[in-house]
Amino acid sequence: MVRYPGMEPNLSPIRAQVREQGELSREAWMVTSPEYSLKKILAAGYERIFELSRSFRDAEPWDGSHNPEFVMLEWYRANQDYRALMADTERMVESVALTVLGSTKVSYQGKEIDVSAPWPRISVAEAMAEFADIDLAEAMNDHGWFRERLREKGFVLPDDESFEDMFYRVFLRDVEPRLGIDKPVFLYDYPASMAALSRLKPEDKRYAERVEVYCGGIELANGFSELTDEKEQRRRLEGEAETRRDAGMPPWEIDENFLQAVAKMPESAGIAFGVERLVMLLTDAPTIREVLFFPADTVFRSDGE
């Protein structure tokens, strides 16, 4: 539990209450990830850290690759960038596959996936061009052009839809299902507006040093070269709070201790890896519920539902 939840507009934390014996209850939140806490530890001087922890997210689908309670492996390296995380990730998955299966060839839903390192690296711009025939730089520069291009591709969307919403419409339909089919892939350098907690590329600030890992069409991990600018981090959190208000979602109080930690952090990189999703791949499970003893749909739904 934490005192302040993350501000991401696309995540809904689960509310809790905690009290010391005999005292009034205090509002608390189940962590959506251990990210804020680990960055405080990184700022305290620990240079190579990890946490294997349960995380909790509300208002997500109870099927496919999602469950409101799941296990996340998150790790950070000081004085490294997202390229070091890519090397970590591919070596870890390769090692786990060899230990569990005795091979780097994984059979998943009728397809054979070779998880041996190294894995291909493809930028978001390259993926949008190859799989969706979209010029990402043009889409970022001219949202009207992007909107008309999507309508040509059969999407029905309002005139005021944001760039991010338009991006994910085409990304989820035309790009994501084609990623990592024969071999896991690193998708890197997202548009700056999707930087989250990552730093912008020094040589091209239109893009952020953010990377995601896909295998068999499943997202396994999300990582960054971390933002270490306290003022920029505050600006982003305030922007996310405004986005939440505009969407009718409650904004949270900013965790000032987290901002203080950002100011003290060394140049670093961190990544969050979904443990059950890797188990799905290694056991050829079609959904996450197949690898959980107590999936949400069996715990919280009655027999008649």
Q: What is the tens place of the pLDDT at every residue in 54-95?
A: 999 999 998 899 999 999 999 999 999 999 999 999 999 999
Per-residue pLDDT tens for 286-301?
A: 999 999 999 999 998 7
* E strand or H helix at 145: helix 143-152
Q: pTM for the whole thing?
A: 0.94
Over residues 15-35, the mean pLDDT reads 93
pLDDT of residue 63: 81
Q: In the prediction, which pLDDT does 302 show?
A: 64
Tens of pLDDT, residue by residue over 118-135, are 999 999 999 999 999 999
Query: What gap in Å lies between CA 101 and CA 95, rounded to an integer?
Result: 10
Q: Classify 277 as helix, strand or coil.
A: helix
Task: From 55, 81, 82, select the one nearest 69 (Cα to Cα).
Answer: 55
**Which whole number is the average pLDDT over 278-287?**
96
Read out DSSP for 59-128?
Answer: S--SSTT--SEEEEEEEEEET--HHHHHHHHHHHHHHHHHHHHSSSEEEETTEEEE-PSPPPEEEHHHHH
**pLDDT tens digits for range 208-242:** 999 999 999 899 999 999 999 999 999 999 999 99
Return the percentage of the chain with pLDDT > 90, whole number. 89
* Residue 247 clears pLDDT 90, i.e. is over it: no
- Inter-residue contact 220 to 274 (CB < 8 Å): yes
| β strands within the chain, DSSP E | 15-18, 26-29, 48-56, 69-78, 105-108, 111-114, 121-123, 185-191, 200-201, 204-215, 218-225, 268-274
Averaged confidence pLDDT in the chain:
95
Backbone angles phi, psi at 74, to 5 degrees: -125, 135
